[in-house]
Amino acid sequence: MATLTHTTAAAASALGKPTSLTSTATTKPLSHLPFPFSPSETLNLTAKTTSIKSAAPSSSDLSTTTVTTSVSTSPQTLKSRLQNGDTLYGLFLLSFSPTLAEIAGLSGYDFVVVDMEHGPGGISEALSCLRALAATQTPAILRLPESSATWAKKALDLGPQGIMFPMIESSKEAEKAVSYCRFPPAGIRGSAHTVVRASSYGIDEGYLSNYDDQLLIMCQVESEEGVRRAEEIAAVEGVDCVQMGPLDLSASLGYLWDPGNKKVRNALKGAEKAVLGTDPLVGGAYLAGFAMPHDGPQDLRTRGYHMVSGCVDVGLFRSAAVEDVRRFQSSLINGSDDEEEHGNDADEKYWSE
């Protein structure tokens, strides 16, 4: 709480009255403001009016107004929203375009996964995307190229709300992933917390005491061995979420690019059941996954998924671009037919309009 008491001493002096005026200023370091800010975070301001009387007896008192401003934050992190029972909907960002990241945030996604595993960017490019998302108060998750202490350290120093480890196939690998996220003695994460973005470059003095509570640790299960051990991976202390990977799983089972294959779907549903059989509030994990053409976002939500990634930015642009070209080429062939169609669809406009 920051308490500021203002008095009008000049006015009191002008009235010739001896006064006893108190001016206090109590401030707190910026550590009470979490970074980055979360979508639902609010600042609650309350004002209270009091009066200060003159020290000398008088028939009339000098009253002044003091305003006590209480600044409190209620950060709604991805982790806390999951604990509250929310189902979160997000997007994967492969383009590493800060502009598309900003558009995604402004569109209302609950989270955006900046994908360093399959996207062309690294740490520097990811930082620009995180800044764009922070401007829209949208939580960012970083998916690592591989599960290693070095990549985890560099990613976490950027200050994402979540981190995703690919291709986790056992509880031992999951335990290692968690250790990469924690400072000694709980883990092996290298410490430069006084100068990195995650701690507001050292301004957030409470970072060391709250980073573990706010960080969402996600382990991706995307192989035949991984789905077989999904339950034990979900039970590892520190693993908050198990992310299903249907595409790599289909390849692992011998059905490359055929995630709709019956055997792949059965394996996936077995892993889903294993994770959903755990309780995230008492040592289990939440379930996350990708929507597919044959298995849409609503299907995943109905089966109990807590986090659903519905699309990829590159895929969205590709589909829109291909359809735009198709419609134009069709108009060249159809001529008047297209003009009539355009008249019927007058409410559809180009993005530039």
Give per-residue pLDDT as tens, 272-292: 999 999 999 999 999 999 999
Is 118 one of the catalytic residues? yes
Give per-residue pLDDT as tens, 130-148: 999 999 999 999 999 999 9
Using DSSP bridges, classify how beta strands 67-69 and 2-4 pair: parallel, antiparallel or unpaired: antiparallel
Please state, in angstroms and as integers, the Cα–Cα distance from residue 208 to each residue in 157, 200, 213, following that order.
12, 12, 10
Rg (CA), the chain: 27
Which one of the listed residues 118, 193, 294, 306 is annotated catalytic?
A: 118
Q: How far apart are the first and last CA of the chain?
A: 48
Mean predicted confidence (pLDDT) in 95-101:
98
Please state, in angstroms and as integers, the Cα–Cα distance from residue 312 to each residue in 87, 95, 111, 154, following that order.
19, 9, 12, 24
Distance of CA 157 to the CA centre of its chain: 15
Please state, in angstroms and as integers, the Cα–Cα distance from residue 40 to each residue in 43, 64, 76, 197, 347, following that order.
10, 36, 5, 21, 34
Report d(CA 35, CA 77) in Å as an integer: 10
Report d(CA 183, CA 85) in Å as an integer: 29
Give per-residue pLDDT as tens, 176-208: 999 999 999 999 999 999 999 999 999 999 999
Residue-wise over 130-152: b if at least 16 C-beta within 10 A, else e?
A: bbbbbebebbbbbbbeebebebb
**pLDDT score of 22:** 38
Higher pLDDT, 75 or 62: 75
Give per-residue pLDDT as tens, 31-66: 333 334 333 333 333 333 333 333 444 444 444 444
